[in-house]
Amino acid sequence: MTLVAGMRHAVDALIGSDAVERIARTGHFDADQIELVRSTFFGPGACGAPGGPWEPFRHAHMRLPDWFEHGLDPLGEAYAEQQRRLWRLVAGVDRDYDVERDEKEADVGQVDPVRFPGYYVRRDPGAVEAASEHVIATGMLLKHCGLRPGDWALEYGAGYGQTALALARLGVHVDTVDVSATFCNHVRRQAEFFGVPLTAFDGRFGDAPRPDQRYRLVWFYESFHHCLDFQKVVRELPKLLAPGGRVILSGEPIAERSYAAVPYPWGLRMHSEVVAVVRRQRWFELGFTEDFLFELFANAGFVVSRIDCPPSLFGRMYVCEYRPKRASFRLQWMPPQLADAWAEPHGDGRWTREVSTWPIERRDVERLVELELENPLPIARNLEIVAGGEPLRVTLRAQARTRVGVAVAPGACRLEVRSLADPPARWWQTPVTYRPGVVVHALGAPDGSAS
């Protein structure tokens, strides 16, 4: 090494040391430090035991660049383009994202997809515990999928297809779709070895592998967060479902509320490990908030519920049912931000606040929905109900329970219940910290289905 080169190396090491100390102290790093984050994460011994080279970065997050604009419509093109620009910055490329080029599987060398698929090939100290996360997630899906032998199911982004294989060995006809030809070949080899009804198709999210087939289950495991075109895909999902079918998301980075790793309704995740992987692999690693995801699926006609799995977050599931029968508002799961607009349960319903909103299916034609309402108070309540058009004024008599038809305007995606006056405090046995409205028991179409 020459003297000049040695001096440069020493300067770089000093600068890098200062940056590492600052990241460890603040828990944040900037875009000009992405390469430092990448080289440390993929460096020797970086992801090992606490105290290794990766430790100062382990819980750090990247700060958004100065040009990033908050407040854009998360369903709009300007928002999506800003996320594509952010991906180009993190990935370190000056070109458009291309799913076939940028979602290639990681190079893990020679693979035996029958004896050692996926996590079975690991031999590091954390291998057994890591495998348990996936085994738990598979068990959760088997428990809650609602399938029987002979049913049809479809998995998008199947990878090595271990859950798909488990279902196929139980007699379920399973199709998988993956953009990776390598993963599709791994699934085919397993299907041939076990002699089970498991078929892999090369394709993208939303593709219909069998145009005339409808599925009792469509699921995503650790894959939906690679779907940049998720709005289009979610709108297409109902066409793939058999009557009574459901969509399940599992093992996905879905946050209860926005935070440093997902500082927006949806977008590229800013956690240090994710940033390092995006810089190296060029994958589009998305994250979502529960409120955004709930409304996204609701606008496509789904009712979403969350099934928790205390032993592992990998097993947490979001079950999306398409136009089910009416469900109790008391039992209906609500993501945190949506729940903030509602008050406590009452009977099989839930109190509204001064203004309470609920996401509904977006359609291109006007339609009628039905609200089941109750006023438990000994005084009449005046309401306005809005669903994209003119407000519907309703007077609900004291201690009355009734159903109200509401016209939903074309393109409307939310229904809003407004209470026009506060009841006297003397009608409440305990103090309340909000302006109470009425009780909503159910929302659905006049034929009894959900809306």
Q: pLDDT tens-digit profile of 9-49?
A: 433 444 467 899 999 999 999 999 999 999 999 988 656 55
Those residues with Cβ within 8 angstroms of residue 111's Cβ, 6 or more apart along the chain or in another chain: 117, 121, 186
C-alpha span between 380 and 235 (Å, rounded): 41
C-alpha span between 111 and 263 (Å, rounded): 37
Q: Which tens digit of pLDDT belongs to each residue from 206-265?
A: 999 999 999 999 999 999 999 999 999 999 999 999 999 999 999 999 999 999 999 999
Tokens 């409205």, located at residue: 437
Nearest Cα to Cα of residue 283 among 109, 157, 104? 104
Residue 3 φ/ψ, nearest 5 degrees:
-60, -45
Q: Which tens digit of pLDDT belongs to each residue from 89-132?
A: 999 999 999 999 999 888 877 889 999 999 999 988 889 999 99
Number of neighbours of residue 286 by Cβ within 10 angstroms: 22
With beta carbons less than 8 A apart as the criterion, state whether 164 and 155 touch.
Answer: yes
Question: Per-residue pLDDT for 180 more than 90?
Answer: yes
Q: Which tens digit of pLDDT belongs to each residue from 283-307?
A: 999 999 999 999 999 999 999 999 9
C-alpha span between 1 and 104 (Å, rounded): 37
Cα→Cα distances 156→103, 187, 212, 287, 357, Å: 14, 13, 18, 17, 32
Nearest Cα to Cα of residue 306 among 323, 293, 319? 319
The residue-averaged pLDDT of 421-437 equals 59
Would the pTM of this model clear 0.75, i.e. be above it?
A: yes
C-alpha span between 334 and 350 (Å, rounded): 11
C-alpha span between 22 and 303 (Å, rounded): 45
Q: Which domains, from first to last, does the chain contain? A: 1-60 (no CATH), 101-322 (3.40.50.150), 336-444 (2.60.120)
